[in-house]
C-alpha cells in the first residue's frame, strides 16, 4: 500500500468516524427526549394507579349505570380546578338531607351488576348481553336498563375479574368467573 492510498484510507475512516459520531449524538438526544417523555408518562400512570387503588378501596360502587337509566348526572358538587377540568367535591361535604334520604331509598335496590351476576350464576353456558337484559326485564320488571348500560356493566364486571368475556364470531358472550380460578388482588 502506498502512502497516498494509506492517507486516503485514513481520511475516509476519519470522515466515516465523524459521521458515525454525529449520528450517535443525534440518536442519544432522541433517546434522552424519549426517556424524559416516558418518565413523565410513568409519573402520570403512577398517579392514575394510586387514584384507582384509592377508589377501589372505597366501598361505594360507581353510580354510572344508574345515571344512564335516566337520572341526571350530579352537577351540584362539581368544581372547576386550575386547569379548567371539573373536579368533584368529596361526598361528605356536599351530601344534604334530601340526598341522604334518596341514597337510603336507592341502597335498598340491588345494583345492576349484582343482578347480572345472579343471572349469570343461573347459567352454565356463556350468555349474550341481550339475553341477559331480556331475562332481567322479565325477572325485574321495575328495572329497565338500556342495552348499552347492560353491556357497560358487564364490561365493568369483566374489568373486576368477576365475569369472563368470550367472543364467538361477531358475538360477545359472558360467563361468571369460576371463583377457584379467580385472581386474588393484593390490598
Beta bridge partner(s), residue 162: none
CATH topology of domain 110-187: Arc Repressor Mutant, subunit A (1.10.10)
Q: What is the pTM of this model?
A: 0.42
Residue 21 is predicted with a pLDDT of 93
Q: One digit per residue, pLDDT tens: the chain, 187 residues?
A: 788 888 898 999 999 999 999 999 999 999 999 999 899 888 888 888 888 877 776 655 555 554 444 444 555 544 555 555 555 545 444 445 555 555 555 557 889 999 999 999 998 899 999 999 999 999 999 989 999 999 999 999 999 999 999 999 899 999 998 876 555 544 4
Report residue 170 as a C-alpha cell: 361477531
Would you list the domain boundaries of the chain?
1-54, 76-108, 110-187
Residue 71 is predicted with a pLDDT of 45
Angle at CA of residue 52, ends 185 and 88, nearest 5°:
150
Query: What does each C-alpha distance from 107 to 63, 99, 101, 149 come to in angstroms?
Result: 11, 12, 10, 19
Amino acid at each position: 500500500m502506498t502512502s497516498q492510498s494509506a492517507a486516503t484510507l485514513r481520511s475516509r475512516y476519519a470522515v466515516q468516524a465523524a459521521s458515525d459520531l454525529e449520528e450517535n449524538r443525534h440518536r442519544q438526544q432522541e433517546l434522552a427526549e424519549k426517556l424524559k417523555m416516558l418518565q413523565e408518562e410513568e409519573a402520570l400512570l403512577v398517579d392514575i394507579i394510586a387514584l384507582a387503588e384509592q377508589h377501589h378501596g372505597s366501598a361505594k360502587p360507581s353510580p354510572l349505570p344508574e345515571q344512564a337509566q335516566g337520572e341526571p348526572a350530579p352537577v351540584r358538587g362539581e368544581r372547576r380546578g386550575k386547569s379548567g377540568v371539573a373536579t368533584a367535591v368529596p361526598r361528605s361535604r356536599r351530601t344534604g338531607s334530601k340526598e341522604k334520604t334518596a341514597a337510603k331509598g336507592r341502597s335498598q335496590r340491588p345494583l345492576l351488576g349484582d343482578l347480572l351476576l345472579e343471572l349469570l350464576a343461573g347459567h352454565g353456558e356463556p350468555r349474550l348481553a341481550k339475553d341477559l337484559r331480556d331475562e332481567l326485564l322479565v325477572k325485574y320488571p321495575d328495572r329497565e336498563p338500556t342495552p348499552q348500560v347492560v353491556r357497560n356493566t358487564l364490561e365493568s364486571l369483566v374489568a373486576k375479574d368477576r365475569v369472563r368475556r368470550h367472543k364467538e364470531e361477531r358475538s360477545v358472550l359472558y360467563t361468571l368467573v369460576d371463583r377457584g380460578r379467580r385472581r386474588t388482588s393484593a390490598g
